[in-house]
Amino acid sequence: MGTVVTDRGRMDKEEQDDELMALTSIYDESVLSITQEDGENGGQFLASLQLPDPFYIHMDLNRNKEDNMSKKDSDLHMIKYLPEIVLNFQLPSDYPSCHSPHFTLSCKWLNRQELSSLCRKLDKIWHENEQNVILFMWFSFLSEETFDFLKLKSPLQLSNVISHRKEKSLAYDKRGIQDIASQDCLLPAILDFDKQAREQEFNRTIFCCKVCFNEKIGARCLNFSGCDHVYCKECMKDYFRIQIDDGNVKSLYCPEEKCESQAHPSQIKQLVSEEHFIKYDRLLLQSSLDMMADIMYCPRPSCQYPVLLEKESNMGTCPACFYVFCTLCKLVYHGLSPCRIRAEGLRKLRDEYLAADSATQEFLEKRYGKNTIHQALEETFSNEWLEQFSKCCPGCGCHIQKIDGCNKMTCMKCRTYFCWICMELLARNNPYRHFNTPGNDCFNKLFEGEEFDEDGLLFDDDDDDLNDAGIIFL
């Protein structure tokens, strides 16, 4: 009899070794791991379910019964992968001749009742195939039939996976382990697993870059979220660097025509140099601050620190250099007095005022004062007229308008003699030599531009100083 037992034990050991060898040739090490403890074979199998596409999970955000809110918020997420169902097994020495493998089932998103149903189903598979190796049948069932067996559907309800009620009437199988610390941890755990599984699948896949048209493995490619367009990292590295050098930090879109998906900052940081990413980060912050109505940069060129403006006030205080300024004119804060305007801004103010509607004109009058607005209108019109119809004396700089007479001019303020044509200073002892010297650009042009009567006489009301005259605008 002892010889029979020994032979049976040896046969069980051989069948176990053959089964495990066959399983390791079928499943990858990331799915099946084999161990041996106290002379017995064991291991762990990770059963990944094939989910329908699309597949959603649903979680109620307000689950506390003591919450007085009558309306419950909900959260719906589309996923591609659920965390695996983990089967830990230990093969007794008399398996498969006498006893089935010892096992536990653990899962994050199945409740204890569903886990108990799976445990009973594995027991049933053993009893239907007693004295035969059944690990492959268990693995196949968990991976391929669990979804239909438990009648799961999309959206998968996760609100009550962990029940805090004491239901004595329900006998749960102790081999089914609910592997999550609390209900609040469930949704983040599933979403994180789905993200990592998607990345692993992407890294193993071969893609054709839409820029260089070379095929590369996903680990060497970049995927734009939202559109799933894929490009190799080398092409995107050059693309990001050029855009950052040009200051287009808000234009790092997918290169696909008309696609508006943007690169994530973490993707940019992964590809560009540290120097380029610092520049990108700085320009991105600056462009974001520029779009905020309550943020203004310190007017001091040496500071330029962002300043948070006070509501209903035109006073700003820089926290870096403590410069107190008017947010309208950017000059030192002047209280209730109208804003002063720089001379070079008068023309711009005039154009803005004349092109504005009544509401904008009222705002500008309130901002700068009506007198300042009128001054801008008068001075800019005067300056434009002077630029068009007058010239500046080369001696004192006063504006002079030539009314009539010859081109030898006398400034009525500083009494400087000059040529109206070329604005050259003339000698006081003989100012007309300039017009009588051959080879001079103004030779014989003393009376150029003047009108004469029928007798060849110059029209003139005053013969003094050979008809040179002018008006000075002081």
Q: What is the predicted pLDDT for the residue at 429?
A: 85
Domain boundaries in the chain?
2-62+73-163+170-192, 207-290, 343-389, 391-474
pLDDT tens by residue, 129-172: 988 999 999 999 999 999 999 998 888 888 777 764 445 445 78
Q: Which residue has the higher pLDDT, 142 or 459?
A: 142
- The reply to whether 2-62+73-163+170-192 and 207-290 are identical in fold is no
At residue 471, does pLDDT exceed 90? no
Tens of pLDDT, residue by residue over 380-429, are: 676 677 777 888 888 888 888 887 778 888 888 788 889 988 988 888 88
Class of domain 2-62+73-163+170-192: alpha beta
pLDDT at 371: 66
Position 6 scores a pLDDT of: 65
* Average pLDDT estimate for 203-229: 88
Higher-pLDDT residue of 195 and 258 is: 195
The 3-state secondary structure of the chain, one letter per residue:
CHHHHHHHHHHHHHHHHHHHHHHHHHCCCCCEEEEEECCEEEEEEEECCCCCCCEEEEEECCCCCCCCCCCCCEEEEEECCCCCEEEEEECCCCCCCCCCCEEEEEECCCCHHHHHHHHHHHHHHHHHCCCCCCHHHHHHHHHHCHHHHCCCCCCEECCCCCCCCCCCCCCCCCCEEECCCCHHHHHHHHHHHHHHHHHHHHHHCEEECCCCCCEEEHHHEEECCCCCCEEEHHHHHHHHHHHHHCCCCCCCECCCCCCCCECCHHHHHHHCCHHHHHHHHHHHHHHHHHCCCCEEECCCCCCCCEEECCCCCCEEECCCCCCEEECCCCCECCCCCCCCCCHHHHHHHHHHHHHCCHHHHHHHHHHHCHHHHHHHHHHHHHHHHHHHHCEECCCCCCEEECCCCCCEEECCCCCCEEECCCCCECCCCCCCHHHHCCCCCCCCCCCCCCCECCCCCECCCCCHHHHCCCEEEC
For residue 72, the model assigns a pLDDT of 45
Share of the chain above pLDDT 90, in %: 23
The active-site residue, picked from 107, 209, 406, 419, is: 406
Q: How confident is the model at residue 344 (pLDDT cuts 50, 70, 90)?
A: low
Q: At 252, is the pLDDT very low, low, confident or very high (cuts 50, 70, 90)?
A: confident
Residue 173 has pLDDT above 50, yes or no: yes
Concerning whether 406 is annotated as a catalytic residue, the answer is yes
Mean pLDDT of 80-95: 93
> What integer pLDDT is reported at residue 1 of this predicted model?
42
Model confidence over 105-133: pLDDT tens digits? 999 999 899 999 999 999 999 999 988 99
What's domain 207-290's architecture?
A: 2-Layer Sandwich (3.30)
